[in-house]
Amino acid sequence: MDKKTLRHIARLSRISLTDEELEKFTPQMQTILDSAKVLQEINTNNVKPMKRHIPFSQLREDIPEISLTQEDVLKNAKYTENGYIKVFGKIFDSDQDS
């Protein structure tokens, strides 16, 4: 992945990126592509294809329910910051586990 390709993808997606963002996001995009490449190497010869898809008409009704509060969710997170769960990893320029 190079800056020219990322700039082209951003333009097609109608996303404007500054030079600084291109500098930051280009290696991140390459890491994402490298991760996806690993999936292509997996042997799926013995994996049976799905027999059928589920049409949207067969999905259940989306009924809102009371869920956990933000405070309760954050209690279960190993790392938090400013009311959010903090995520680490190669994509985010960190080797620390999340």
DSSP state of 76: T
Tokens of 74: 């954050």
pLDDT at 97 over 90: no
Task: Enumerate the domain spans of the chain.
Answer: 1-41, 67-98
Average predicted confidence (pLDDT) for the chain: 87
- Residue 69 CA to residue 85 CA, distance in Å, equals 13
Element (H, E) at 84: strand 84-85
CATH fold, domain 1-41, is Histone, subunit A (1.10.20)
| Entry pTM | 0.47
What is the structure's pLDDT at 93?
61
